[in-house]
Structure 1
Amino acid sequence: MTLLTGRGAVYTRIDDALARSGEMAMQAYCQETFSVGGVLLDSNGQELMLMHNNVVIERFTYDPTAHGERQLVDWYFEQIAAGVALPPAEEMTVVTSLDPCCMCTGALLRAGFKVIVGAFDRFSGINYNTEANYPSLTNEQRSRALANFSYPQATGESCFVRPATSAQPPMFFIDQATTDKTLALCESIFTTSLNSVQQQISNDLPPEALCDPATLPDDHPVVAALRAVYPQSLTYRAPSRGQPDVALANFMIPVIEQDRQRGGKGMLWRCWIYLAICCFACRAISASRQYKLPLCKLPVPGRSYVISCFFSKAKLYCLLLATVNMAPWCWRVGQTAVMKA
């Protein structure tokens, strides 16, 4: 085991830790991405890592999954894999300037981190109704969130004051309240960035103006990159945009079986029939990186299928990479459209 060097300040006041996450959100704002920041603390409240949202870099959609919290989770497990001596995830605390989304919440809950939340996110946050009853979670997930997610009291005389809800913060915080000024910073800087960044990343060429990657030569770098992830990439075309037919099963079934052979579950059957598939058919390796993305409905009356994929660092690939007909939105790589998921 190796020791992590260059550790930062030790926090005993929640307001200081949230203010630090707010500073990271300011850096995100200056980068012209979503203004959210976070701090990873060890079991003594010592700062180990700082991170902010990196969805947009240099005005380009770098990684749609690069939310601050998800990056902190990945960083922690990368350190563990590299032999760095760190406390168990259950003793770590992520302090985030904004309520985590469903994707980040899933990663945080699965890993076991404690979470201190600054501003509410009434649109995409896991506590969107601000009541800390987490209606979008399963019963098991809700129990974990109630035990690990903290929304500290905010003191002051403005509309940003609030009572403490959900879990009690870690005991190394001697002062367990934040201030309305810190909460105002966390909320207002995110709100300021929201519309401009959404407009920037949502505007693209119309689908008919994008290049179909299936028409590229076999030696094209984009084709090579896709087939390195999944050799049968670009071999199936949906009959119409976002509406695959039963022929898609010819690609899904072998990979599901391969995942089972490698220790994964291959398929999750629930009331709406979720199909969980990972890029390298190794679902068992990194369960905390499973994020469900609505992709399409298969033609089975009364049942919706959701295809899931795993993300690795800055790469986002769907196992069943086909053509732009498979998904409602695409990445542009140069002049080439690459399906996101």
Structure 2
Amino acid sequence: MSQSEPQDVVNSKGSVVQNADEAASIVLNQALSAAAQGTFAVGGAIVENATGRVIHKLHNNVLKKLLRTDSDTNNVFTYDPTAHGETQLVYWYYENKTKFNLPEPEELTIITTLDPCVMCTGALLTAGFNVGVIAIDDYAGINWDEDFNFQTLPESLRDLAKSKFGYYASENKDGGPSEYVRSYKGSPNVALRNTSISVQRLMGCDSIFRAGLESVRADSYDAGPDADKNLLDPYYLPEESLIKVKYREIYPDAFKVKISNPRLPGEELFQILKKVKESEPKAQNSVALLDQFGNVILCLADTDESPVHTAFMNVTQNYAIIRFELTKMYVNDPKKVEAPNKYLTYPKYGTFVFLYAPSPNSTKAIMTLGAYGSTLEGKVPKIFPANFQYYYPPHEGTIKELRSVIMHLPPFYNEFAPISIMQVAGDFT
């Protein structure tokens, strides 16, 4: 599924930025559009290093409005927890690289209003983009403590990040607060690195994000009923139910298999995961999502559309986007579909089961861990066994190393959305 809003690429005769402040103005406008939409106020753009050409720009789309055809309601709902500005730009790039004959990622810089989160950092490093950052996120940003040494990443990835990330200098040209003044730090490969942004632009990127953060988080965490709120089991819906039909368009066996205890998945799910992985010749992994009733909603493998189309990303994106479309359909015409919020709830009440645990020293693992944190939609209930499980240890590295990586992630991933991973109980070969 597409991860970005449809926009035309800017051709070689289109918008060109001469300095970092001009680029900051463009991405700040995107952040303002995100705020107006009711989602996290972050914006970004792909800029060609050699020319300053703005190839594409967009904003965060985690939340979108559920617009009725017969009213002016502006209520928002989770569209895709991974639809952060930077990650969407990576997906857009791979969707359009051939069509527009785009340069390689190493020749481009993704400029963003806010320091990328763990997921976006993993996606950017996996793809190979340079990254130009304006404001700091002191809770979920990869450089939350502003040491610029990437202590939040495994040691094996820190030099790679240092070679890709840059934090623009800011100048106090018009009497802004001096505490926002800083010199450039980071890679020599970032576009417009020898120019600066104004303190006012930096403050704008920072303040627009913080202004609506709590209300947006509250809306994001209201994307489904709690597990104990009389949720109905979708397994017993008729076969023609749109809930079943839409998920089966992605995974033909959706809601056909019921695991007796979703926290103890066992042999049956193990065989399903192996079969799904084997169906994609280049896949390294497969991931299943079980709801609290034990229904296998989705089970998907890595796909070869791009390096960032990993099994977990495919599962969490498709679950959320289909849920959003069903909810939007219900809001506009309740006769078309059963009320999704009676059957589909927060992923945190289900169980994500990996065939292989993420490899701790890979950029894809960083993306996966961050995406899992974003998927939780609020604090995870303290349930044992955990809702992040795996059958096999990582292809490379150890579980001990993976747990160490998790421990060193920014505060958001240990305080607000703590990540707990455990092996499925049993012996599987």
| TM-score in terms of structure 1 length | 0.77
Cα shift at 1:195 = 0.3
**Contact map agreement 2:17 2:52 (CA 8 A) in 1:** yes
The corresponding residue for 1:250 is: 271
For residues 248-289 of structure 1, give each alpha carbon's deviation from its aligned partner in whole angstroms, at most 9, with x where no partner exists. Answer: 323223223334xx0222379xxxxxxxxx965344442223
Structure 2 residue matching 1:289: 3-state secondary structure:
coil
When residues 71 and 279 of structure 1 are mapped into structure 2, their CA distance, relative to the original with a 3 A threshold, is farther
For residues 125-176 of structure 1, give each alpha carbon's deviation from its aligned partner in whole angstroms, at most 9, with x where no partner exists. Answer: 11122111212323443222101110112222422222322213546x3752
State the AA in 2 paired with 1:215: Y
Query: Which whole-Å CA distance do the structure 2 matches of 1:313 and 1:244 have between them?
Result: 20
2:182 is aligned with 1:162: yes
The corresponding residue for 2:15 is: 9
State the AA in 2 paired with 1:10: V
Residue 32 of structure 1: which of 33, 38, 41 is its match? 38
**Contact map agreement 1:4 1:85 (CA 8 A) in 2:** no
When residues 287 and 150 of structure 1 are mapped into structure 2, their CA distance, relative to the original with a 3 A threshold, is same
Residue 309 of structure 1: which of 272, 290, 312 is its match? 312
Query: Which whole-Å CA distance do the structure 2 matches of 1:206 and 1:338 have between them?
Result: 7
For residues 84-127 of structure 1, give each alpha carbon's deviation from its aligned partner in whole angstroms, at most 9, with x where no partner exists. Answer: 22211111111100011111111111111111001111111111
> Root-mean-square deviation (CA), in Å?
2.8
Q: Please list, as runs of the form range in 1=range in 2, the aligned pairs for 1:253-264 lying within 5 A after superposition.
A: 253-259=274-280, 262-264=281-283
State the AA in 2 paired with 1:252: L
The corresponding residue for 2:160 is: 144
**Contact map agreement 2:232 2:342 (CA 8 A) in 1:** yes
Segments of structure 1 that go 5 or more residues without pairing to the other structure are: 269-277, 291-307, 319-331
Query: Which whole-Å CA distance do the structure 1 matches of 2:258 and 2:303 have between them?
Result: 23
State the AA in 2 paired with 1:31: Q
Residue 236 of structure 1: which of 258, 261, 275 is its match? 258
Residue 73 of structure 1: which of 57, 82, 90 is its match? 90
**Contact map agreement 2:284 2:302 (CA 8 A) in 1:** no
| TM-score in terms of structure 2 length | 0.62
Query: Which whole-Å CA distance do the structure 2 matches of 1:39 and 1:53 have between them?
Result: 11
When residues 153 and 37 of structure 1 are mapped into structure 2, their CA distance, relative to the original with a 3 A threshold, is same
Cα shift at 1:244 = 2.9
State the AA in 1 paired with 2:17: Y
The corresponding residue for 1:219 is: 240
2:205 is aligned with 1:186: yes
Structure 2 residue matching 1:186: 3-state secondary structure:
helix
When residues 8 and 141 of structure 1 are mapped into structure 2, their CA distance, relative to the original with a 3 A threshold, is farther
Segments of structure 2 that go 5 or more residues without pairing to the other structure are: 1-8, 66-75, 288-297, 322-338, 353-429
**Contact map agreement 1:309 1:317 (CA 8 A) in 2:** no
Residue 281 of structure 1: which of 301, 305, 308 is its match? 301
Query: Which whole-Å CA distance do the structure 2 matches of 1:4 and 1:35 have between them?
Result: 23
Structure 2 residue matching 1:74: 3-state secondary structure:
helix
**Contact map agreement 1:55 1:65 (CA 8 A) in 2:** yes
Query: Which whole-Å CA distance do the structure 1 matches of 2:58 and 2:34 have between them?
Result: 9
Query: Which whole-Å CA distance do the structure 2 matches of 1:84 and 1:279 have between them?
Result: 32
Structure 1 residue matching 2:197: 3-state secondary structure:
strand
**Contact map agreement 2:135 2:202 (CA 8 A) in 1:** yes
Q: Which runs of 4+ in 1 moved over 6 A?
A: none
When residues 238 and 188 of structure 1 are mapped into structure 2, their CA distance, relative to the original with a 3 A threshold, is farther
